[in-house]
Chains A and B, each alone.
Chain A
């Protein structure tokens, strides 16, 4: 099975987010970028499928954030080919533009299966995987944890998550796009030495995005952090002091028996 994996960079939420002077966007210059978590799972799922049944894994990314590191890390983990889409006119202002640009790079690969993380926390007016499916004219299903090849060729069996730890088993005829929430196994770790080696040996091909920037259909008027009014009563002090306060609170409520 030949698999394309689409990966995107997102601001790392460990760092504080700063609002840009325009007041309607995050200050991306002040943010540090990481691989979107569910895309990491999509990559892992692709590598597991390749290990189980052969084929190739091609990883495709728009040029933003720390993309080279992400791509070479993917190669160190076992990806066969890397594609970076460069963009003359800055990052897409809407997931529709991103989808159009990814579609240009992914379509010619003729992949049997395209895997993308189901969600990215910075997407507000769209979700890349279903938009990509629409742009490529392929069927789509998302919120997937776990993919395996079906016994017949040209299909996969996937598990779609529902509340209460319930899953729907779904059969998907290929080619198709899946929105991955979790892989069958946690994403593998690769040591830095292997990533460095991949930087020397792996082929990274570049292409230029042609799809024009589309104006978003939704305009952000203002960005604000959630109102602090409803925030918790904060307990301060050392660990021992806070522990004693919590024990008192629980005891007073009859929760320590």
Chain B
């Protein structure tokens, strides 16, 4: 244990270790490589040993084996993390900006009155202080921050670090909590899986994604026509699904699907980090947006500053002409 140690919260859903855990490990390794200290990964309520080989970038795997942690609840997670952090006083705790991270990171920071940064994409040591770059304003601004005080709670944007996958032999520590956890006011009941039957957008080579720029339900047809000409499917950013214009199974991003098509059209989509999370892996991204500063152009290969409602019919026609 040292004041330079960095802890990482692992996320395991079902039997799968969430990719973000290995990204957090990479960020943590990068930080301790400059300052010394250990990297510990915290596994709440599951058999961390099962994933030990894939978390080789850690020096320690700290497993809290408690039946109260067998399903996720913010109160028990925060109680366990609070106790651990109070005992170890690490330099930082890294948590992914996931469904669980959005609860736990701020709750832990509030409990310990510790500094918190949301949307972290770079983490470095700067002469004793932590230097963190974070994305906010929907990805339109980056803030370079200095964080003093420990432990710093850093909520890391998924996809910001190359996953650390080196083999290693982290030591496994099984811990029990000083005060037994009690069930709280919030209780997990069951998983609700998406309804089968709709198009599986993860299986398509060509995706035509539409965002708020599509403006109204009737215009979705314009995207359908382009998708049809290319033999692809239509998918969307969150606001389109929120409006009920497409089913939730077509949403791409943090709480939607992660897709890796050969071609991804991003039409009238600003490119918020939560959307990029689901489409960054596409081979070819073509973005069309009336705002030349839209963050989607940072991840697109080709872009056009045009109104999609004007471009879509012209593009469908041009593709159909090529097909002959």
Determine the chain A residues whose CB is within 8 A of the CB of B184 once the complex forms.
Answer: 139
- CB-based contact B185/A226 at 8 Å: no
The residue in chain A whose Cβ has the minimal distance to the Cβ of B147 is A218
Q: Can you list 13 A-B contacts (CB < 8 A)? A: A19-B141, A37-B239, A124-B118, A124-B143, A134-B107, A145-B255, A162-B99, A166-B194, A169-B188, A218-B145, A231-B298, A240-B318, A257-B231
> In the docked arrangement, what's the CA distance between A171 and B291, Å?
42
The residue in chain B whose Cβ has the minimal distance to the Cβ of A182 is B242
- CB-based contact B102/A13 at 8 Å: no
B281 within 8 A of A: no
- CB-based contact A163/B254 at 8 Å: yes
> In the docked arrangement, what's the CA distance between A180 and B300, Å?
30
- CB-based contact B103/A140 at 8 Å: yes
**Smallest CB separation, B184 vs chain A (Å):** 6
Determine the chain B residues whose CB is within 8 A of the CB of A41 once the complex forms.
Answer: 242
Determine the chain B residues whose CB is within 8 A of the CB of A244 once the complex forms.
Answer: 318
A130 within 8 A of B: yes
Interface range for B: 35 or more
- CB-based contact B286/A139 at 8 Å: no
Determine the chain A residues whose CB is within 8 A of the CB of B254 once the complex forms.
Answer: 163
Provide the B181-218 mask, 1 if CB < 8 A to any CB of A, else 0: 00011111111111000000000011000000000000
> In the docked arrangement, what's the CA distance between A169 and B188, Å?
6
- CB-based contact A124/B134 at 8 Å: yes
B161 within 8 A of A: no
Determine the chain B residues whose CB is within 8 A of the CB of A131 once the complex forms.
Answer: 106, 110
> In the docked arrangement, what's the CA distance between A14 and B268, Å?
12
Give me the interface of A with B, judged by CB distance under 8 Å: 11, 13-14, 16-17, 19, 26, 37, 41, 96, 118-119, 121-127, 129-131, 133-135, 139-143, 145, 157, 159-174, 176, 179, 181-182, 185-186, 217-226, 228, 230-236, 239-240, 242-244, 246-247, 249-251, 253, 255-257
- CB-based contact B255/A17 at 8 Å: no
Determine the chain A residues whose CB is within 8 A of the CB of B98 once the complex forms.
Answer: 163
Determine the chain B residues whose CB is within 8 A of the CB of A219 once the complex forms.
Answer: 145-146, 148
- CB-based contact A230/B147 at 8 Å: no
Determine the chain A residues whose CB is within 8 A of the CB of B145 once the complex forms.
Answer: 124-125, 218-221
- CB-based contact B186/A130 at 8 Å: no
Please tell me which one of the listed residues B106, B117, B143, B298 contacts residue A223 in the complex, with CB atoms under 8 A apart. B143
- CB-based contact A176/B143 at 8 Å: no
- CB-based contact A251/B322 at 8 Å: yes
- CB-based contact A246/B187 at 8 Å: no
> In the docked arrangement, what's the CA distance between A125 and B249, Å?
32
Q: Which of B27-35, B36-44, B169-177, B309-317 contacts A (4 or more CB under 8 A)?
A: B309-317
> In the docked arrangement, what's the CA distance between A135 and B106, Å?
12
- CB-based contact B300/A123 at 8 Å: no
Determine the chain A residues whose CB is within 8 A of the CB of B106 once the complex forms.
Answer: 126-127, 129-131
Please tell me which one of the listed residues B72, B118, B256, B302 contacts residue A165 in the complex, with CB atoms under 8 A apart. B256
- CB-based contact A167/B189 at 8 Å: no
> In the docked arrangement, what's the CA distance between A165 and B146, Å?
36
- CB-based contact B297/A232 at 8 Å: yes
**Smallest CB separation, A75 vs chain B (Å):** 23
Determine the chain A residues whose CB is within 8 A of the CB of B146 once the complex forms.
Answer: 218-219, 221
Determine the chain A residues whose CB is within 8 A of the CB of B75 once the complex forms.
Answer: 139
Q: Which 8 A-B pairs have the closest CB atoms?
A: A134-B110, A232-B303, A217-B115, A232-B300, A130-B106, A247-B318, A243-B314, A165-B194
B301 within 8 A of A: yes
B86 within 8 A of A: no
7 additional contacts, CB 8 Å, given A125-B118, A224-B141? A134-B110, A169-B191, A176-B185, A176-B186, A182-B242, A219-B146, A221-B131
- CB-based contact A173/B263 at 8 Å: no
B109 within 8 A of A: yes
> In the docked arrangement, what's the CA distance between A19 and B258, Å?
33
> In the docked arrangement, what's the CA distance between A19 and B114, Å?
28
If the complex has contacts A233-B303, A243-B311, are A122 and B137 also in contact, measured as CB distance less than 8 A?
A: yes
> In the docked arrangement, what's the CA distance between A140 and B186, Å?
8
- CB-based contact B255/A168 at 8 Å: no
**Smallest CB separation, B145 vs chain A (Å):** 5
> In the docked arrangement, what's the CA distance between A207 and B187, Å?
36
Determine the chain A residues whose CB is within 8 A of the CB of B257 once the complex forms.
Answer: 163-165
**Smallest CB separation, A172 vs chain B (Å):** 5
- CB-based contact A232/B102 at 8 Å: no
B142 within 8 A of A: yes
- CB-based contact A186/B243 at 8 Å: yes
Within 8 A of A (CB), among B117-140: 117-119, 131-132, 134-140
> In the docked arrangement, what's the CA distance between A239 and B311, Å?
5
B48 within 8 A of A: no
Within 8 A of A (CB), among B244-268: 244, 248-249, 251, 254-258, 262-263
Please tell me which one of the listed residues B143, B310, B323 contacts residue A220 in the complex, with CB atoms under 8 A apart. B143
Determine the chain B residues whose CB is within 8 A of the CB of A135 once the complex forms.
Answer: 110
B295 within 8 A of A: yes
- CB-based contact A166/B242 at 8 Å: no
> In the docked arrangement, what's the CA distance between A181 and B272, Å?
15
- CB-based contact B136/A122 at 8 Å: yes
Determine the chain B residues whose CB is within 8 A of the CB of A251 once the complex forms.
Answer: 322
